[in-house]
Amino acid sequence: MRHASITGIGAYLPDRVVTNDDLSQLVDTSDEWIASRTGIRERRIVAEGQATSDMAAAAGRGALADAGLQPEDIDFLVVGTGSPDHIMPSTAAITQDLLGLRCGAVDVMAACTSFILALQQGTAMIESGRADRVLVIGADALTRHIDFTDRRTCVLFGDGAGAVVLEASDEPGVLGIDTGSDGSGAGVLVIPAGGAAMPCTPERVAAGEHYLKMSGGEVFKFAVRIIPEATKRALELSGLTVDDLTLLVPHQANQRILDAVAPRLGIESERVFSNVALLGNTSAGSIPLALHDLYTDHHLHRGDVLALVGFGAGLTWGAAVVRWMKEPKE
């Protein structure tokens, strides 16, 4: 059987760092509240004029270089994002042009779960023989949709992008993937205005309906339940158990969520990767950015078993078990 394997990885973070103290100049909050309730200390924010596609292309360029490939080697591009440059055209089409790829390109829009669903799509294309090399990117500039007068949301999010190259291989790299969605939870995390259901009008903009709204407690409870459930299902689909897991690489939303899932999965907290303190919630960027951090910090070894787990608006979720096939970064 044909398998898909990660052969390259890249990342991009905007230069601008915004600390908790910076945000406490804007809203009634404090470093103490944000750090103790979320674990976040700082985040990166896109520059004026910088779009999601710019970050996606930078991350994609890094992944191509890491895999030792040229743009013309890529057969398909999938960009996972919840903050596309425009409703039309797709961010993937713009990214394809920025990278000089000569292939089809599509967006996968599933908010913070976008990267896992994009990975699933790339994997399926390779396993079916429709592509040999797929570039999979997770990129978000969610701060563009944040109300920086709303302390309940503006302290949580940051911007960034990560990318992987998937290549056909005889050895299994991407193993079992479990994905799901429950649209009955659509109102829990939503940007109400700006789509076909609620076009932007001056009145809606004045009311701030084009900004992200979230019932934080609901999302928290959902995340703590779904991360262990989806991880176990993806491990089962892979013929593995929690004992085989080298590291859990979850979507980075809140340190308290990460702390809560370790005992529920029966693993030590050291086996749950976290970089939320420095990046905040980068949405679709978070899982590939986490992978990139692990790789560049020499924490990944050939044969390691990783569970990549995303969750977010929809509600949606996805877990992918991956056997890491690259040698440690030199």
Yes or no: say if 25 and 149 are a contact pair by the CB < 8 Å rule. no
Tokens of 37: 């309730």
> Least distance from C-beta 282 to ligand UT7, angstroms?
9
Smallest CA-to-CA distance from 211 within 188, 197, 194 is with: 194
CA dist 142 and 155 (Å) reads 12
38 binds ligand UT7 (CB under 6 A): yes
155 binds ligand UT7 (CB under 6 A): yes
Residue 251 annotated to the active site: yes
Binding to ligand UT7 by CB under 6 A, coded x per residue (else -) over 50-89, reads ----------------------------------------
191 binds ligand UT7 (CB under 6 A): no
> Least distance from C-beta 81 to ligand UT7, angstroms?
13
- DSSP-assigned states of every residue in 112-132: GGHHHHHHHHHHHHHHTTS-S
301 binds ligand UT7 (CB under 6 A): no
Buried b (16+ CB within 10 A) or exposed e, 270-305: eebbbbbebbbbbbbbbbbbbbbbbbeeeebeeebb
227 binds ligand UT7 (CB under 6 A): no
Yes or no: say if 111 and 314 are a contact pair by the CB < 8 Å rule. yes
312 binds ligand UT7 (CB under 6 A): yes
> Least distance from C-beta 112 to ligand UT7, angstroms?
4
Residue 281 annotated to the active site: yes
Report CA-CA distances (Å) from 146 to 151, 214, 242: 10, 11, 37
112 binds ligand UT7 (CB under 6 A): yes
CB-nearer residue toward ligand UT7: 123 or 281: 281
Q: Residue 27: is it exposed, middle or buried by C-beta count within 10 angstroms (0-12/13-18/19+)?
A: middle
Query: 222 by DSSP, 3-state: which?
Result: helix
16, 22, 35, 37: residue in contact with ligand UT7 (rule CB under 6 A): 37
Residues near ligand UT7 (CB under 6 A) are: 29, 33-34, 37-38, 112, 151-152, 155, 189, 214, 216-217, 219-220, 223, 253-254, 281, 312
Where in the sequence numbering do the catalytic residues fall? Answer: 112, 251, 281
